[in-house]
Amino acid sequence: MKVLVPVKRVIDYNVKVRVKADGSGVDLANVKMSMNPFDEIAVEEAIRLKEAGTADEVVAVSIGVKQAQETLRTALAMGADRAILIVAAADAHQDIEPLAVAKILKAVIDEEQPNLVLAGKQAIDNDMNATGQMLSALLGWSQATFASKLEVNGDNAVVTREVDGGLQTIKVKLPAIVTVDLRLNQPRYASLPNIMKAKKKPLGEKTAADYGVDVSPRLEVVKTAEPEARQAGEIVPDVDTLVAKLKERGVV
Amino acid sequence: MAVLLLGEVNDGELALDPTAKAVNAAKALGEVTVLCAGASAAAAGAAAAKIEGVAKVLVAEHPALSHRLAEPTAAMIVSLAGDYSHIMAPATSDAKNVMPRVAALLDVMVISDVSGVVDADTFERPIYAGNAIQTVRSKDAKKVVTLRTSAFKAAGKGGPAKVETVDVPGDPGLSEWVEDKVAESDRPELTSAGVVVSGGRGVGSQGDFALIEKLADKLGAAVGASRAAVDAGFAPNDWQVGQTGKVVAPELYVAVGISGAIQHLAGMKDSKIIVAINKDPDAPIFQIADYGLVADLFQAVPELIEKL
């Protein structure tokens, strides 16, 4: 079984995001970039499927700027077998929307014919939570989002999903798209020898135009602003004062 | 312009709070038709008809719709889409599962987790875990939108609007439901509760989380947890408040032993009154709390329970 894992290069989750003063977006100049944390979990799960003998090949795909190569090298160092970079943007500030990403991925999948796509449930930059669902729709495949447990059995997969009220388990026909949630696994760190080895693994490069996909955005960004700041209130000396204040405000 | 709004239906019952909030956000854009879909959805449809601002309710009943599986639910919505300029839903986990699929089938971009409706084409939404608010204008002919319910007030009672049943395209047979594990609780639902008491890593253990629950029960509150507390195994994931969990905006939010990581603040900073109890005076949570108490939670919380 072949597993395809789309990965996105995003601002590192430890970096404090700064909104540009002119309202045009978020400042990405000289900011550390990393693999989207949810995508790391997807790569880890794919590699575990390979280690368990369920999968025989793991292919990582990234769509974005040329520098997303580094993100793909990380996936290769974790254990993916090969990678495909699709250059679709010249500047990191140009975010390719999930619909366009899904269209490009569909074209890649038509060529690669994987049985399973494992994707992060959302990217921590645009927080759209959409690519997996959109890809599944375009392919007419089954989808299981927000997975916290995955079991592949022959022609189907049993997936436990994180939903509002608790957990839902569904059985999906393969091929399928599974998007992963935080609790599915703990991704490994790439070891130095594996990082060295990853440099020799195949990494193909294409462009969005090669697949004939128009990546121009459907959503025009009018402005990007800082969220409204909340003012700090007061420090109360003891529980009695706290109770008195809450009674004054009429909430207890 | 007309809005098709997917009502939040669980096991045949309407979740009134998220649906009424979404109706309130949607009604400025045009006549609102609420779709209630499920194995049985007539009761949910009757409840939705009594929400102020609802012009019509469509009831779609079919076994394939019983567990809100994405594929049949999306096909159902797409079959109705022709008549509407906007297709909207409260941003619940069900809607986040279904609506991007609907959007892709219609070849439009989804606009997720909208916190403000500017006009028919223009919406505000948080990005980067709430560290920035982006205003986007859609160029698509149809807008597919999920609404962050904590950002909107619930519509009141009205109607009753007329209720019609609609045909269901059927089951594409791609996936099947196996089981639900829903935590049974007498407490109010987290995203619609008036009071929320949340515990963080500072609570220290799963056993000690009982103290948080005791305070919650004293206040008639829902129980929440930070991601750190969930990751540490102190609390179940469906209690998680934050960017990767639930977004809440109660009248009163009590954060106990929570330092206030940006991730957590993104899920609760729209609460009306925030109380923080933490022994670290430098915890970032104090920068956004209305009332901060620098104290050991194991002394302060029992005292608070006693004095409330």
The answer to whether A11 touches A33, Cβ cutoff 8 Å, is: yes
Total domains, chain B = 2
- One domain for residues B200 and B277: yes
Q: Closest residue of B to A167, CA-based?
A: B181
- One domain for residues B48 and B135: yes
Q: How confident is the model at residue A166 (pLDDT cuts 50, 70, 90)?
A: confident
What is the pLDDT averaged over residues B63-91?
A: 96
**A130: number of Cβ within 10 Å:** 30
pLDDT higher than 80, residue A47: yes
Average pLDDT, rounded, for chain B: 95
**Cβ contacts (< 8 Å) between B216 and chain A: which residues?**
none
pLDDT higher than 80, residue B244: no
Judged by CB atoms closer than 8 Å, whether chains meet at B252 and A246 is answered as: yes
Please report whether residue B250 resides in a domain: yes
pLDDT higher than 90, residue A112: yes
Q: How confident is the model at residue A14 (pLDDT cuts 50, 70, 90)?
A: confident
pLDDT higher than 90, residue B100: yes
- Position A18 scores a pLDDT of 92
- One domain for residues B12 and B141: yes
pLDDT tens digits, B17-34: 999 999 999 999 999 999
pLDDT higher than 80, residue B183: no
pLDDT tens digits, B209-237: 999 999 999 999 999 999 999 989 999 98
Residue with structure tokens 């025989």? A56
Please report whether residue B184 resides in a domain: no
DSSP A42: H
Quick one: angle between helices B93-105 and A131-139, nearest 10? 50
Determine if the peptide bond prior to B188 is cis (ω within 30°).
no
Within 8 A by CB and 6+ apart from A248, the residues are none
Share of chain B above pLDDT 90, in %: 86
- One domain for residues B8 and B100: yes
- One domain for residues B31 and B105: yes
Distance CA A247, CA A232 (A): 20
What is the pLDDT averaged over residues A67-90?
A: 97
- One domain for residues B199 and B96: no
- Position A231 scores a pLDDT of 85
CATH number for the domain whose boundaries are A2-248:
3.40.50.620
Average pLDDT, rounded, for chain A: 95
Q: How confident is the model at residue B2 (pLDDT cuts 50, 70, 90)?
A: very high
Q: How confident is the model at residue B262 (pLDDT cuts 50, 70, 90)?
A: confident
What is the pLDDT averaged over residues B137-151?
A: 96
| Min distance B103 CA to chain A CA atoms (Å) | 7
Q: How confident is the model at residue A162 (pLDDT cuts 50, 70, 90)?
A: very high
- One domain for residues B28 and B150: yes
pLDDT higher than 80, residue B188: yes
CATH number at residue B235: 3.40.50.1220
pLDDT higher than 80, residue A240: yes
- Position B165 scores a pLDDT of 97
Judged by CB atoms closer than 8 Å, whether chains meet at B100 and A236 is answered as: no
The answer to whether B263 touches B236, Cβ cutoff 8 Å, is: no
pLDDT higher than 80, residue B131: yes
Judged by CB atoms closer than 8 Å, whether chains meet at B293 and A219 is answered as: no
Q: Which of B226, B249, B222 is nearest to B237 (CA)?
A: B226
Q: Which of A150, A84, A140, A88 is nearest to A112 (CA)?
A: A84
What is the pLDDT averaged over residues B285-302?
A: 97
Share of chain B above pLDDT 70, in %: 100
What is the pLDDT averaged over residues A142-167?
A: 95
The answer to whether B243 touches B148, Cβ cutoff 8 Å, is: no
- One domain for residues B154 and B235: no
What is the pLDDT averaged over residues B241-268?
A: 91
Q: Closest residue of A to B8, CA-based?
A: A164
**DSSP element (H, E) containing B70:** helix B70-80
B114 burial (CB, 10 Å; 0-12 / 13-18 / 19+) is buried
Cα distances from A169 to residues A149, B98, B179, in angstroms, run 9, 16, 5
The answer to whether A8 touches A39, Cβ cutoff 8 Å, is: yes
Query: Chains A, B: CB contacts under 8 A, how many?
Result: 242
Supply A4's token pair.
């395809």
CATH number at residue B9: 3.40.50.620
The answer to whether A62 touches A85, Cβ cutoff 8 Å, is: yes
DSSP B2: E
Distance CA B247, CA B259 (A): 17
Q: How confident is the model at residue B192 (pLDDT cuts 50, 70, 90)?
A: confident
Judged by CB atoms closer than 8 Å, whether chains meet at A98 and B109 is answered as: yes
pLDDT tens digits, B103-122: 999 999 999 999 999 999 99
Please report whether residue B176 resides in a domain: no
Among A33-42, A56-65, A162-171, which is the least confidently predicted range? A162-171
Q: How confident is the model at residue B184 (pLDDT cuts 50, 70, 90)?
A: confident
Domain housing B17? 2-165
Beta strands per DSSP E along B67-189: 86-90, 110-114, 116-117, 122-127, 132-138, 143-147, 162-165, 175-182
pLDDT tens digits, B76-88: 999 999 999 999 9
B220 bridge partner residues: none
**A220: number of Cβ within 10 Å:** 12
Query: Higher pLDDT residue, A94 or A46?
Result: A46
- One domain for residues B14 and B74: yes
Please report whether residue B109 resides in a domain: yes
| Min distance B46 CA to chain A CA atoms (Å) | 23
- One domain for residues B75 and B138: yes
DSSP A144-203: EEEEEEEEEETTEEEEEEEETTEEEEEEEESSEEEEE-GGG--PPPPPHHHHHHHTTS-E
Length of chain A: 252
Q: Which of B165, B182, B209 is the last residue of a domain?
A: B165
What is the pLDDT averaged over residues A45-70?
A: 97
Query: Which of A 233-252 lie inside 8 A of B, CB atoms?
Result: 233-236, 238-240, 242-243, 245-246, 249, 251-252
Distance CA A41, CA A188 (A): 9
- Position A93 scores a pLDDT of 86
Residue with structure tokens 């375009």? A138
DSSP B157-177: B--PPEEEE--------SEEE
- One domain for residues B147 and B295: no
ipTM (interface predicted TM): 0.95
**A207: number of Cβ within 10 Å:** 13
Please report whether residue B170 resides in a domain: no
- One domain for residues B58 and B142: yes
